[in-house]
Chain A
């Protein structure tokens, strides 16, 4: 009796062990599957936000785009030992650009900081315009309120401030947002062909509402010294309206009234240089849906794919902090060694004249 009982017990305990082992195997497998799925999901990249309104700006940022620190690509100067920047330096002296960046108290640390750490350093002079003064950053206080409806008023006040304090310090006056990335060297190349005493301004030209077109606010626009003078004068004499909820359109209307020409900012092959979006949105065919406002707004025939963007692009918009540094790296650092670029832009005349300035007579006399 007890033997049978014992055997029953034995077989039952074997069954128990087996059940337990089965359970642990199942648990192990399920868990590993779950973990591998979870770990892979973390690699997903956040898609960029597409704005369905041509005059939409500064949307609410998701927390993921918030970058705490800053990156300095120039810390390692040895990588640039064989880089010749003579031409860039000459242009810096000859085409003086004052940049002012539209920002606000909430965005100084979130966005403007990264502008300051990257492209802003290449302006001959840079000012950060906010509704309130910040001595540490530093930012100029325009004494306005914040908000989308205040953009035009801030723009007027900012240009007025620049005119009153820095008119003689620059030839050209560039306005950008704190999510615009600007390549100053290329802007200088573009502007070197023009005279700052002419009434002209450049940017990404849009066609609706204004006969000669107007420049997209977010992609940034740049006024000649004469254009700035006329703009500021126009408000003193009430030629232009003070209030509008659409900054770039209102400015464009004003420019037309005061006879400031809307310039063609495309490069010598007809490619656009100022861009209202990040490179990805322009380079990928079909990224911007056919029904998007953009296709009807562009003054010149819009192009998507490789022909969208000049090699010497001047600006991109809706650039989040990470992309600021990526662009900085791609433009000023990473390059294909020895590569002969297809587009070989001509040296601006201002530089060419200087190269020819060594009189041959003097050289001969030295022998």
Chain B
């Protein structure tokens, strides 16, 4: 009996050591992957200012209205507070925003996906969105409720991009050979991309509902695999200086990290002026961002913008 229990304990020890090793290796691999593959990423830039200014006044108004963005926010019951915050803040700036939940939650209006699996939720949401809204919207933005998005900056970024081309953009990352858009920073699909995705969803060999790996593969990677079959490739969105506009972290984290890594220097500003998303926000931070973005500003700084976006009707925090 004694020898057996000691054997058992030795097994437990080995198992935990193995687990720690794998976790550490996993972390190192991701970091290494980011560094070496940086130059292999596909980059997509914001519009060139010179091109824009040639557009006339009337064309500008027409242009502003030509972007129709449909927002998909995937929520679970545990996200209820964030859900409410998103609904009351940035989601109002989407041309239409709908919440897709794993199950029905009282008082909260949502489209019930009836599944806890994130990849299944994502597939069903895209299918629903395409089936119902393919004629009304030309860009589809998907996010988690931890993300804060500035839809006006998204529309500015899409300025010279034709939605009938297969665009799939956001903050990209690499997993082995696969370049995918991280769901944390938000995923943007043009109508062409979602159309192609939709035709593949019914083909299990290309777009399986269950991943082939033993370990769970995150839904953003699964999406990338699927889209690849349709000839749609991930592109990292950047401003004219190469700064990411879709961010998987919050402003505060960026600042803290930059300062911790370079304690005795003055580092360059962390984030783009035209940033579209930040992730990892708390409910309170969503409201602070609304104030910080749509209200707080310095008097006497004037911009000559090509697009015009009016405030939302019946809203008090923007």
Contacts and interface: CB of A to CB of B under 8 A. Distances in A.
B256 A329 contact: no
Interface string B1-25: 0011001111111111111100100
Given A23-B9, A341-B294, A69 B14 contact: no
Contacts of B272: 79
B227 to A, nearest CB: 28
Interface stretch (A139-147, A152-160, A182-190, A250-258): A182-190
Interface string A330-367: 11111111111111010000000000000000000000
Interface in A292-350: 305-307, 309, 311-313, 322-323, 325-327, 329-343, 345
A24 interface: yes
B204 interface: no
Interface stretch (A28-36, A166-174, A209-217, A233-241): A28-36
A329 B299 contact: no
Given A27-B13, A312-B297, A72 B267 contact: yes
A interface SS class? helix
B15 A25 contact: yes
B260 interface: yes
Nearest to B151: A336
Given A334-B293, A337-B305, A71 B23 contact: no
Interface residues of B, number: 81
Interface stretch (A13-21, A50-58, A96-104): A13-21
Contact of B256 (A31, A67, A183): A67
A282 B17 CA distance: 48
A279 interface: yes
Given A322-B252, A341-B297, A23 B259 contact: no
A27 B16 contact: yes
Interface stretch (A85-93, A129-137, A199-207): A85-93
A117 B266 CA distance: 9
B291 interface: yes
Given A20-B8, A27-B14, A68-B264, A76 B269 contact: yes
A182 B311 CA distance: 27
Interface in B11-61: 11-20, 23, 49
B307 interface: yes
A5 interface: no
A27 B21 CA distance: 13
B288 A283 contact: yes
Interface string B189-230: 000000000000000000000000000000000000000000
Contacts of B306: 338
B103 interface: no
Contacts of B318: 342
Given A325-B255, A338-B309, A342-B311, A23 B7 contact: yes
Given A23-B11, A28-B16, A336-B152, A85 B296 contact: no
Given A82-B303, A334-B293, A342-B311, A27 B19 contact: yes
Nearest to B265: A69
Residue from B20, B252, B301 whose CB has the most chain A CB atoms within 10 Å: B301
**Of B269, B285, B289, B317, which is in contact with the most chain A CB atoms at under 10 Å from its CB?**
B269
A26 B305 contact: no
Contacts of A73: 269
Contacts of B270: 71, 329
Task: Give the residue among B11, B305, B306 with the most A Cβ atoms within 10 A.
Answer: B11
A18 B238 CA distance: 54
B250 to A, nearest CB: 9
A81 B48 CA distance: 12
A195 interface: no
A210 B293 CA distance: 37
B307 A21 contact: no
A312 B296 CA distance: 6
A84 B295 contact: no
A309 B292 CA distance: 11
Contact of B298 (A69, A88, A284): A88
Interface in B267-318: 267-275, 280, 282, 284-285, 287-311, 316-318
A56 B13 CA distance: 52
B241 interface: yes
B86 to A, nearest CB: 15
A357 B298 CA distance: 25
B11 A330 contact: no
A338 B302 contact: no
Given A20-B7, A31-B19, A283-B287, A337 B295 contact: no
Contacts of A342: 311, 318
A335 B282 contact: no
Interface string B91-125: 00000000000000000000000000000000000
15 contacts: A19-B4, A20-B7, A24-B15, A27-B12, A71-B266, A72-B268, A73-B269, A80-B273, A283-B287, A311-B296, A327-B292, A329-B269, A338-B155, A338-B307, A339-B309
Given A72-B267, A335-B293, 9 more contacts: A30-B12, A31-B16, A68-B262, A71-B270, A82-B304, A89-B300, A280-B284, A280-B285, A345-B299
